[in-house]
Amino acid sequence: MTLWLVRAGKYGEDEATALEKGIAIVGWQELPDLSNIKSYEDMKKIHREYYPDAAEKSIISNSAQMWAFVGRITKGDIIALPLKTRSSVALGEVTGDYKHKDGRHTRAVKWKREDVQRSAFGQDLLFSLGTFSTICQIQRNDAEKRIIAIMQNKPDPSLSSGKSTNHKNETSEIIESENIMVDIEEQAFDQLRTVIQSRFKGHNLTRLVEAILNAQGYVTYRSPEGPDGGVDILAGSGAMGFEETRLCVQVKSGGVQSDAVVRELEGVMSRVNASRGLFVSWDGFKGSAIQKTKDLFFKVRLWDDKQLITALLENYHKLPAAMQAELPLKQVWVVVWEEE
């Protein structure tokens, strides 16, 4: 049994299709059916044929990835799909051979868990899941055994053991030994998740959400800690908050939320005469909740940790000095390495 990272589009555009249809799906749509490709050398030949202007380095990299997808992945292997559209990872078991279906390169997958929060993984696993490659094998630090445990709703053994890891040194070691490129933005998000989770627990997360809404121009009322009747924050537009939009906000710092919370939010919105609703769940939402919001696009928004952090970064420069002191960040510029 082998563990593979297989992405579903540069921007996550094929994630919904992969999860709904029970498949792993990758790009390179210009390539024809590859069922008759029997070796890595054959894969390079067909890449050269269909991408005549591509650099040799690109041919080697892309051919190796597609050969892994077509010829190396086998039934029973594990697929990890880090989602771009929400802050979680889908895990599944390969159940079928390579198929070229509807012009796409696919493998049948039985998704065992579609919404594993990134906090469930040790930092070293997150680093491995953050490589720029579309398809690659992950094997460092007993990755296969640990992912299998997580698939079975057990904690990552490296976390439950209480063992600490020098992640900075480990990162350098991986880069030097394997010469891989990582998604620095995703790594920064993971660091921010850890810091926010430690410094803004419970009602403090509501305080952070309120600061972001203030930075966006809302006038707010934040309920005191304790029973709040389903209202954590009320936010209104205009100088005194009397204009549209009237926003009702609920914030949960723990637990994956279902579609029931969306129904509850609708009821609270009606009671407080709010025209819009925002539900913030640090641990994210089940697919049923995400599906329900499609019918409420003009009324309700859901923020998981990724959406919250994105809003934080967009408005950080407008936050009060005291909040910036609690969460000190520095903007840096880095070269964006595109996968070849």
Residue whose C-alpha is closest to residue 150's, from 174, 195, 117: 117
Two structure tokens written together for 259: 């579609």
Integer Cα distance of 279 and 267 in angstroms: 13
Which structure tokens are listed for 186?
Answer: 């995703």
Strand partners, 301: 278
Between CA 192 and CA 196 the distance in angstroms is 6
Residues 294-316: tens digit of each pLDDT: 889 999 999 999 999 999 999 99
Q: Which pLDDT belongs to residue 176?
A: 35
Instruction: Supply the pTM of this predicted model.
Output: 0.76
Contact 149, 21 (CB under 8 A): no
150-180 exposure pattern, b = at least 16 Cβ within 10 A, e = fewer: bbeeeebebbeeeeeeebeeeeeebeeeeee
Q: Tens digit of pLDDT per residue, the chain (340 long)?
A: 899 999 998 888 999 999 999 999 999 999 999 999 999 999 999 999 999 999 999 999 999 999 999 999 999 999 999 998 888 899 999 999 999 999 999 999 999 998 898 888 988 888 888 888 899 999 888 999 999 999 999 989 888 665 544 444 443 333 333 445 667 778 888 889 989 999 999 999 999 999 999 999 999 999 998 877 789 999 999 989 999 889 999 999 988 899 999 999 999 999 999 999 999 999 988 888 888 888 899 999 999 999 999 999 999 999 999 999 999 998 888 776 555 4
Q: What is the pLDDT of residue 164?
A: 41
Determine the pLDDT at residue 185: 78
Domains parsed from the chain with CATH numbers: 3-182 (no CATH), 203-326 (3.40.1350.10)
Q: What is the pLDDT of residue 115?
A: 86
Q: In this predicted structure, what is the pLDDT of residue 131?
A: 82
Task: Map tokens 């490709």 to a residue.
Answer: 37
Q: Name the β-bridge partners of 281.
A: 252
Longest CA–CA span in the chain (Å) reads 69
- pLDDT of the residue at 158: 83
pLDDT at residue 336, rounded to an integer: 65
- Residue 19 to residue 239: CA distance in whole angstroms: 45
